[in-house]
Structure 1
Amino acid sequence: MENYAGLDLSMESTQVCIIDEKGRTLASEKVESCPAAIADMLDRHAPLARAVIETGRMSPAICHGLRELGVPLVCIDARQAHQSLKAMKANKTDPHDAAGLAQLARTGFYKEAYVKSPAAHGVRSVIAARSHLVEARVKLDNMIRGLCATFGCRPGPGQGKAFLDRIMEAPHIPGLGQAIASLLSIRSANVDQTKEMDRRLRLIASQSQACEILMTIPGVGIQTSAAFAAAIDEAGRFRQSRNVGAYFGLVPRRHQSGEIDWTGRITKQGDGMVRKLLYEAANSILTRSRETFALKTWAMKIAKRRGLKKARVAGALYIGASTHPRSGSCIGQTRSAAGTPRPAR
């Protein structure tokens, strides 16, 4: 007789519930949130057919660790698990959540979520860190402008050497100089760290064939290509290239029931950072690229017919779907394409 387990993960401890084939509880314990402790508890109730864990911050590390120890673990979508657990009408406690996850493992009523590799999470960490550094620098620049404006000095727009030179021309008022000097020292360190992140991203992109292919698309740079490749991670998990657009929430939301059938805005599900970068790449193609190629011509027709915003979304959808390795084509080849590319439906 095989058993099933549900793991309710938290930062310090994990509630583990093990049930048999008939749904009867065999054990319910709280153990340390580390793969070794969890695996030791599960081994005491072998054989284990399947263990279930929800997606979350610590899920990647726990999943990879348990799978290396030979535990048959499945990571499921947390939103679906939440709805299923709420339907059980039990009090919200860790033991009840773990028991509910164990029942999902036994019945198979779940949607499995892909757990990205550590390398993919590493690339995403670099991109996220760079994004936060840029946001912090913009806040510092705005704070410096605000302090200077109080005393009648207007540094103006920009962020380069001219901007710094205008700040140095600020009147030497007691307190203002010291405040600006402190902010500029932090800003200088911020700029240096941002450049270091850019160097790491260039190194990552130079070692990835997928990134090189992606960067042949006009408007797609190092950051967009690296983020897209890291989000996809394993191309074989997508059966069709059109599924990539839905994965990043770039397809319209549909509601159909009886005589009601309407299509709304895009779902905006999945990786928001990659969706934003793809949108910016499509906007660059429409507004900044001076070359004429099939993708731009197709997007411009949509812009004239439906508006620029929908054309950007359509361009982002096409970039994401057409660069999928299983699609058999590379969007960078659209420069010499004779006809208009077919949009991914």
Structure 2
Amino acid sequence: MSKITITVLEITIGMDLGNQKHDICVLNSEGKIVEQAKIENNLESLSVYFSNYERPHKIRVALEVGSSSLWISSKLKSMGFNVIVANARKLRMIWDSTNKCDEKDAEKIARVARMDPSLLYGIQHRSMDSQQVLTVLRAREHFVKMRTQTMNSLRGILKSLGVSDLPKCEANRFSEKMYEYVCDDLLPTLGEMLYECQELTDRIERLDDRIELISEESCPEAQHLRQIPGVGPVTALAFVLTIDDPTRFNKSRDIGAFLGLTPKRDQSGEKDKQLRITKHGDRYLRSLLVICAQHIFSDRSPDSDLKRYGHRIASRGGGAGRKKAKVAIARKLAVLMHRLWVSGDNYEPLHKQALKKAS
């Protein structure tokens, strides 16, 4: 490819990312395709191709969010390109097409970016540093899932053999508690499962120690958020690393929608249906916030505005009301954590009551 000189900001490049190769479509100022290309999914190929463009600050590059979009967008931004990472959920015209292929997807992304970039609902990736630290939490989540699966499998096997009085216990004590329920004939087999469960527990505990160390040494914001009862080191660090930049939200309330904790909307005329939450955004952080909400809502947690708010929601109706209350608390908790992070204020469990007394 020859050296390309750009003089106006009307060159648009669309990229459809793949596991092996990326499809590229280049449009000129008139919307005509001037080049279609494929490059390998590696840093060298990306650098070689885009280094052919002079004055990259006058070129817009649009790509769909995916597993490779973080490092690709970071590299292109460092080279000076105007990069838009499109929200995949908003690009129904691409993934729901009846004539879908990588070349056409790249062209569609480029054409939408050329006409109106806001239609791509561009997202902001977290920093590479945050992403690297976040791998500690992802690894912990993986080991917790494996341990839970092993525990459930072992309980199911023992119940199928007539052992029905298995006790409830904390996950980190599961192995030692279950040994007495495994007969000698099954110990060579089920003992391996108990050993695996203990190995996973040891790995999780080592990662817990590392999470504590990271919070103490390089993430004081996470330490600050842990003053809320029910918010532990994992949730606090996951919140800070996932959000990455709290100033990206104009209002703390916006974070509820960002994490998929606000209801879907289907309004037409006089009809306005009550729907479930969107579940957009980071699934792991959302699940952690709901777990914290369950603790806040429980009888063992201290009195707080969050708890009172949950009880008001739950009083509207039965079991469904309790479920809605936990989600509502999770949303309020996310807003509160963002507000404490931005303001640096200390947590007041009964802030509304204190305001009433002051007035």
Instruction: Name the TM-score class by shorter chain.
Output: 0.7 to 0.9
Distance in structure 2 (CA, Å) of the matches to 1:250 and 1:205: 26
**Alpha-carbon deviations, 1:79-100, whole Å to 9, x = none?**
223x23368x673222111111
**Alpha-carbon deviations, 1:198-257, whole Å to 9, x = none?**
112112222322212211111111111111112211111101111001111112222223
Secondary structure at the aligned position of 1:265 is classed as coil
- Quick check: 1:322–1:330 contact (8 Å CA) kept in 2? no
Is 1:34 matched with 2:34?
A: no
Please report how far the alpha carbon of residue 195 of structure 1 lies from its aligned counterpart in structure 2 after TM superposition. Answer: 1.0
- Corresponding residue of 1:136: 146
**Aligned match of 1:120 in 123, 130, 140?**
130
Is 1:323 matched with 2:340?
A: no
**Aligned match of 1:210 in 212, 221, 228?**
221
- Corresponding residue of 1:65: 75
- Corresponding residue of 2:109: 101
Secondary structure at the aligned position of 2:30 is classed as coil
Q: Cα 1:246–1:102, aligned 2, differ >3 Å: closer, same or farther?
A: same
Please report how far the alpha carbon of residue 327 of structure 1 lies from its aligned counterpart in structure 2 after TM superposition. Answer: 5.9
- Corresponding residue of 2:284: 273
Q: Cα 1:311–1:168, aligned 2, differ >3 Å: closer, same or farther?
A: closer
- Corresponding residue of 1:18: 26
What is the one-letter code of the residue matched to 1:223? V
Is 1:194 matched with 2:208?
A: no
Q: Structure 1-normalised TM-score? A: 0.87
Q: Cα 1:93–1:327, aligned 2, differ >3 Å: closer, same or farther?
A: same
- Corresponding residue of 2:348: 333
- Quick check: 2:222–2:233 contact (8 Å CA) kept in 1? yes
Distance in structure 1 (CA, Å) of the matches to 2:305 and 2:235: 21
Please report how far the alpha carbon of residue 192 of structure 1 lies from its aligned counterpart in structure 2 after TM superposition. Answer: 1.6
- Quick check: 1:8–1:94 contact (8 Å CA) kept in 2? yes
- Corresponding residue of 2:322: 308
- Quick check: 2:175–2:194 contact (8 Å CA) kept in 1? no
What is the one-letter code of the residue matched to 2:193? L
Distance in structure 2 (CA, Å) of the matches to 1:338 and 1:147: 52
What is the one-letter code of the residue matched to 1:84? M
- Quick check: 2:290–2:330 contact (8 Å CA) kept in 1? yes
What is the one-letter code of the residue matched to 1:101? I
Secondary structure at the aligned position of 2:80 is classed as coil
- Quick check: 1:319–1:331 contact (8 Å CA) kept in 2? no
- Corresponding residue of 2:3: none
- Corresponding residue of 2:4: none
**Aligned match of 1:85 in 84, 94, 102?**
94
Secondary structure at the aligned position of 2:276 is classed as strand
Please report how far the alpha carbon of residue 301 of structure 1 lies from its aligned counterpart in structure 2 after TM superposition. Answer: 2.7
What is the one-letter code of the residue matched to 2:66? G
What is the one-letter code of the residue matched to 2:45? A
What is the one-letter code of the residue matched to 1:332? Y
Structure 2 unaligned residues grouped into runs of 5+ = 1-7
Please report how far the alpha carbon of residue 133 of structure 1 lies from its aligned counterpart in structure 2 after TM superposition. Answer: 1.1
- Quick check: 1:299–1:314 contact (8 Å CA) kept in 2? yes
- Quick check: 1:298–1:340 contact (8 Å CA) kept in 2? no
Please report how far the alpha carbon of residue 143 of structure 1 lies from its aligned counterpart in structure 2 after TM superposition. Answer: 3.2
Give the total of aligned pairs: 337
- Corresponding residue of 2:5: none
- Corresponding residue of 2:293: 282
The percentage of aligned residue pairs carrying the same residue is 28
- Corresponding residue of 1:234: 245
- Quick check: 1:13–1:32 contact (8 Å CA) kept in 2? yes
Secondary structure at the aligned position of 2:267 is classed as strand
- Quick check: 2:14–2:109 contact (8 Å CA) kept in 1? yes
Q: Cα 1:297–1:330, aligned 2, differ >3 Å: closer, same or farther?
A: farther
What is the one-letter code of the residue matched to 1:10? G
Q: Please say which of residues 272-281 and 52-61 is displaced more in the overlay.
A: 272-281
